[in-house]
Amino acid sequence: MAVSRPYPEMPRGSGTDLKYLSGFGNEFASEAIPGALPVDQNSPKVCPFGLYAEQLSGTAFTAPRRDNQRSWLYRLRPSVGHDHFEPYATPHDTLNSDFSACISSPNQLRWLPFKSPGDQHDFVDSLFTICGSGSASTKSGFAIHVYALTAGMDDRCLANADGDFLIVPQSGALSIVTEFGHLEVAPGEICVIQRGMRFAVNPVQAEASGYMLEIFSGHFQLPELGPIGANGLAAARHFLSPTAAFEDRVSSYTVIHKFDGRLWGAQQDHSPFDVVAWHGNYAPYKYDLARFCPINAAAFDHPDPSIFTVLTCPSTTPGVAVADFVIFSPRWLVAEHTFRPPYFHRNCMSEFMGLIRGAYDGKRGGFLPGGASLHSCMSPHGVDVATFEAATASSEEPKKIGDEALAFMFETDLVPRVTSHALNAANLDRSYQQCWKGFKAAQIPPAAI
Ligand SMILES: [Fe+2]
């Protein structure tokens, strides 16, 4: 059988010469200069080349061994060498981490594609929060943002003390510089930048846009596989972390720090990307969604979409997530005598969806690449009238959903509160409800009553 997409040997980048370390949560070690990494201990009296040793803790020191995440960084200067932090505001003030004053709405919401603010914006200044719940200060909850950048982060970096970012590019590849090395992330791939890591996002072409999930507690992990067995869904070896790279550059640099829901900025006289070597299991990573191995119904009926979970951030309740990242990727639909598109649904969880490319099989129109929908807890949703009628009249032949479509969902146990700027956005689809108008009532013959 012909394979529609080549799968070259690992590791690989996105058409670049970047080298990556493969594996999920591995104990990695990388050095940009041979001999820069201490071998026998973490914190020698004098590090190789006079580097400064610094630990970055992603979990409490005393977290159980299976959960414990930290890395040791060996750098030209300690990261503390900056001036005082001062409050920093983005030009349009559209970044939220406090949702106490936001509105939770039972209405089904949909946005047409989000556009760039118009003027030149880098990644930080373009951030636009759609919804979220909880707070960074209590380390519980999440936020969902979109970005639309038209400029690189020249001599600026961001670190998020509030949680992890999961970035989903929709248009335009990103070149992401981190303290751990460089990542290039194209649409169809995702990356995760964890709490505390300094990074800068630059467009590979003139501009780029996409989605971002922020979690205020814990870290993303691979879902349990249960009866699926040892294989399937996202494979650990397909997650790629950067290799050490550094620059020794004196410059007027701004370190932007997201802390307790607010942005702060501090000046320093050098690039923060001066880590010559590092080791540990707390490192950013990327993942090519084309490598996801979906499991689906082989005879009849429709599995719950949890079967397509790529990453999850679990809550303290078993089986319940702060947030799941789920994709609807290329796959065969073969279930017989079955309504194959997503079923009509009311969910105790809330569902935010985005579209990376193509057309989603649950909606014929209106849900467009770069747009989004939000179906909050127990708000009914499902396919539109046209999709329902087409699906109920379709043949039983196997059907391929090919590379042309890639949708995703952030699903959360928390109730999303929507920011005022998202509710008032010009691209809010105020006619969304109309797609569910026109369903014909089922007719029960009088003899059957
Ligand atoms: Fe749903």
Let me know if residue 434 belongs to a domain. no
Let me know if residue 436 belongs to a domain. no
How far apart are alpha carbons 38 and 30 in whole angstroms? 11
Please provide the average confidence, as pLDDT, over all residues in the chain: 93
Lowest mean pLDDT among 2-16, 65-79, 314-328, 414-428: 2-16
Q: How many domains does the chain have?
A: 2
Phi and psi for 166 in degrees, rounded to 5? -110, 110
Share of the chain above pLDDT 70, in %: 96
Let me know if residue 438 belongs to a domain. no
pLDDT band at 401 (very low <50, low <70, confident <90, very high): confident
- Residues 132-154: tens digit of each pLDDT: 999 999 989 999 999 999 999 99
**pLDDT over threshold 50, residue 12:** no
385 C-alpha to ligand 1 centroid (Å): 16
The answer to whether 360 is a known ligand-binding residue is: yes
DSSP 237-284: GGEEEEPP-----EEEEEEEEEETTEEEEEEEEE-S--EEEEEES---
Q: Are 315 and 344 within one domain?
A: yes
Q: Are 274 and 186 within one domain?
A: yes
Q: Are 280 and 363 within one domain?
A: no
Quote the pTM value. Answer: 0.95
Q: What is the mean pLDDT of residues 181-191?
A: 97
Let me know if residue 132 belongs to a domain. yes
Q: Are 63 and 161 within one domain?
A: yes
DSSP state of 185: E
Lowest mean pLDDT among 11-15, 264-268, 365-369: 11-15
pLDDT at position 120 is 80
pLDDT at position 50 is 98
196 C-alpha to ligand 1 centroid (Å): 33
Q: Are 241 and 335 within one domain?
A: no
DSSP state of 358: S
How far apart are alpha carbons 154 and 178 in whole angstroms? 14
Let me know if residue 442 belongs to a domain. no
**Top-confidence residue, 166 or 402:** 166
pLDDT band at 5 (very low <50, low <70, confident <90, very high): very low
The answer to whether 224 is a known ligand-binding residue is: no
Q: What's the one-letter identity of residue 238?
A: H
301 C-alpha to ligand 1 centroid (Å): 16
Q: Are 251 and 338 within one domain?
A: no
Let me know if residue 352 belongs to a domain. yes
236 C-alpha to ligand 1 centroid (Å): 27
Q: What's the one-letter identity of residue 222?
A: L
> Catalytic residue positions?
302
pLDDT at position 11 is 42
CA distances from 105 to 84, 100, 378 (A): 40, 14, 11
Q: Which of 181, 393, 346, 146 is nearest to 274 (CA)?
A: 181
How far apart are alpha carbons 406 and 369 in whole angstroms? 9
pLDDT band at 16 (very low <50, low <70, confident <90, very high): low
Domain containing residue 402:
294-429
221 C-alpha to ligand 1 centroid (Å): 22
**pLDDT over threshold 90, residue 79:** yes
168 C-alpha to ligand 1 centroid (Å): 20
pLDDT at position 2 is 39
Let me know if residue 29 belongs to a domain. yes
Q: Are 325 and 343 within one domain?
A: yes
Cα angle, residue 399 at apex, residues 396 and 400 outer, rounded to 5°: 170
Tell me if residue 447 falls in helix, strand or coil.
Answer: helix
- Residues 6 or more apart whose Cβ sits within 8 Å of residue 318: none
Q: Which of 234, 260, 277 is nearest to 47 (CA)?
A: 277
Lowest mean pLDDT among 7-16, 102-111, 363-372: 7-16
- Residues 284-297: tens digit of each pLDDT: 999 999 999 999 99
- Residues 100-131: tens digit of each pLDDT: 889 899 999 999 999 876 778 999 999 999 99
Tell me if residue 436 falls in helix, strand or coil.
Answer: helix
